[in-house]
Amino acid sequence: MSKFWSPVVSRLVPYVPGEQPSDSSVIKLNTNENPYGPSPIALGAIRAATQDSLRLYPDPGAARLRTAVAGTFGLSPENVFAGNGSDEILAHAFHGFFSGRDPIVFPDITYSFYRTYCELYGIAHRTVPLDDGFQVDVASLKDPCGGIVVANPNAPTGIALGLGAIETILDQNRDVVVIVDEAYVDFGADSAASLVPNHDNLLVVQTFSKSRSLAGLRVGFALGQPHLIEALQRIRDSFNSYPLDRLALAGAEAAWTHTDWFEETRHMVIASRERLAADLTDLGFDVLPSAANFLFVSHGTVAAAELAAKLRSDGILVRHFPVGRINNHLRISVGTDEECDALVRAIRSIIGTGYRP
């Protein structure tokens, strides 16, 4: 607290990102980063862009990147907004579509940044509970509201909704914007991008951070009809006209078109996820069905907080959210098979030989 803080700053409850340790020997399974590196072609493009032209501002409209992304989805560049990570795009979307409206709605267990943006922009919100299986109940998303946000697959559960369910949510809420946050979609869910042409209230948000291994570059994009994209551009141009620097644009364009690398690495992550899910089930964990690059698990006898603390002292970070009914769950990012094996070995020795499934 300081007398210099504005009332907004004083009342903020900032999002707490997962720990980024400086010790590189730590096995990091706590922030859903991709265990495989970015496309080597993307890295080459970033290096090639590291030159005298950095004295010039980048393309504020990110035209080449938007054209490439649009082409993949059968859309046009007017359907694409590019931003400095999807978090920034989500912030602009909350500001542009939700502030000054009725309370918006999102599930009680979801990406905690949604609540943070509501605080930042003074947006009223209410939550609807996930069901006992941690699934989104589509019927709970039909009362009048100022807007809806769903992560698909959801975080931190990893559970995906089918496109039929997304369409139902869109049809039940035709007069407000529905944001579908697809940060993890490439690991096993269907993108709602195909619904953009027929739904004027849909904004799909994706990121290069997870499936394209570029969390450090900060690139995300949104897909929607031109009137929604224009709103995001108006906010951007009233905030920071150059959200993507020249290196980010060069890297993202190259990463987007290097589809072999993308396909190969995402399938490796999916295979490791299934292997880890089977190993953890054998160790007595309840493992939610994941369509993401992480697993959400709880153990029958050992408390999540204790497991997280002991894994930490073994040099393995996982994420524990000490809140409400997920207090006894852990979110474990899928690493390489070697990292997953090290995790399973560590858990086995923590649980001890006493446990019999």
In this structure, which amino acid lies at residue 183?
A: A
CB proximity list for 61: less than 8 A, separation 6 or greater: none
Q: Which stretch binds ligand PLP (CB under 6 A): 79-87, 97-105, 191-199, 303-311?
A: 79-87
Q: How far is the CB of 38 from ligand PLP (least distance, A)?
A: 13
Question: What is the full DSSP assignment across 210-262?
Answer: STTS-TTT--EEEE--HHHHHHHHHHHTTT-S--S-HHHHHHHHHHHH-HHHH
Residues from 12 through 41 that contact ligand PLP (CB under 6 A): 32
CA angle at 153 for the pair 264 and 170, rounded to the nearest 5°: 125
In a 13 Å sphere around the CA of 272, the CA atoms on its Cβ side amount to 27
Which of 30, 34, 86, 298: binder of ligand PLP (CB under 6 A)? 86
Binding pattern to ligand PLP, positions 162-181, x when CB under 6 A?
-------------------x
Which of 94, 98, 106, 111: binder of ligand PLP (CB under 6 A)? 111
The residues with which 181 forms a beta bridge, in sequence order, are 151, 205
Residue closer to ligand PLP by CB (options 224, 347) is: 224
Q: How far is the CB of 292 from ligand PLP (least distance, A)?
A: 8
Residue closer to ligand PLP by CB (options 86, 173) is: 86
Q: How far is the CB of 180 from ligand PLP (least distance, A)?
A: 11
CA dist., res. 234 & res. 240, Å (int)? 10
Neighbours of 105 (CB within 10 A): 24
Q: How far is the CB of 345 from ligand PLP (least distance, A)?
A: 27
Sign (positive or negative) of CA dihedral 327, 273, 137, 198: positive
Which of 35, 158, 188, 220: binder of ligand PLP (CB under 6 A)? 220
CA dist., res. 231 & res. 90, Å (int)? 12
Q: How far is the CB of 105 from ligand PLP (least distance, A)?
A: 16
Under 8 Å between Cβ of 106 and 173: no
Q: How far is the CB of 92 from ligand PLP (least distance, A)?
A: 12
Burial profile 305-315: b = 16 or more Cβ within 10 angstroms, e = fewer? eebbebbbebe
Which of 87, 186, 279, 339: binder of ligand PLP (CB under 6 A)? 87
Under 8 Å between Cβ of 340 and 275: yes
The end-to-end CA distance of the chain, in Å, is 51
In a 13 Å sphere around the CA of 316, the CA atoms on its Cβ side amount to 24
Residue closer to ligand PLP by CB (options 92, 199) is: 92
Q: How far is the CB of 319 from ligand PLP (least distance, A)?
A: 11
Which of 35, 85, 96, 251: binder of ligand PLP (CB under 6 A)? 85
What single DSSP character describes residue 58? P
Residues from 196 through 215 that contact ligand PLP (CB under 6 A): 207, 209, 215
CA dist., res. 141 & res. 108, Å (int)? 12
Identify the residue whose tokens are 């698990």.
Answer: 297
Q: How far is the CB of 356 from ligand PLP (least distance, A)?
A: 35
Residue closer to ligand PLP by CB (options 201, 207) is: 207
Which of 93, 150, 183, 287: binder of ligand PLP (CB under 6 A)? 183
Residue closer to ligand PLP by CB (options 182, 339) is: 182
Binding pattern to ligand PLP, positions 112-151, x when CB under 6 A?
---------------------------------------x
Q: How far is the CB of 116 from ligand PLP (least distance, A)?
A: 12
Q: How far is the CB of 51 from ligand PLP (least distance, A)?
A: 26
Which residues here bind ligand PLP, judged by CB under 6 A? 32, 85-87, 111, 151, 155, 181, 183, 207, 209, 215, 220
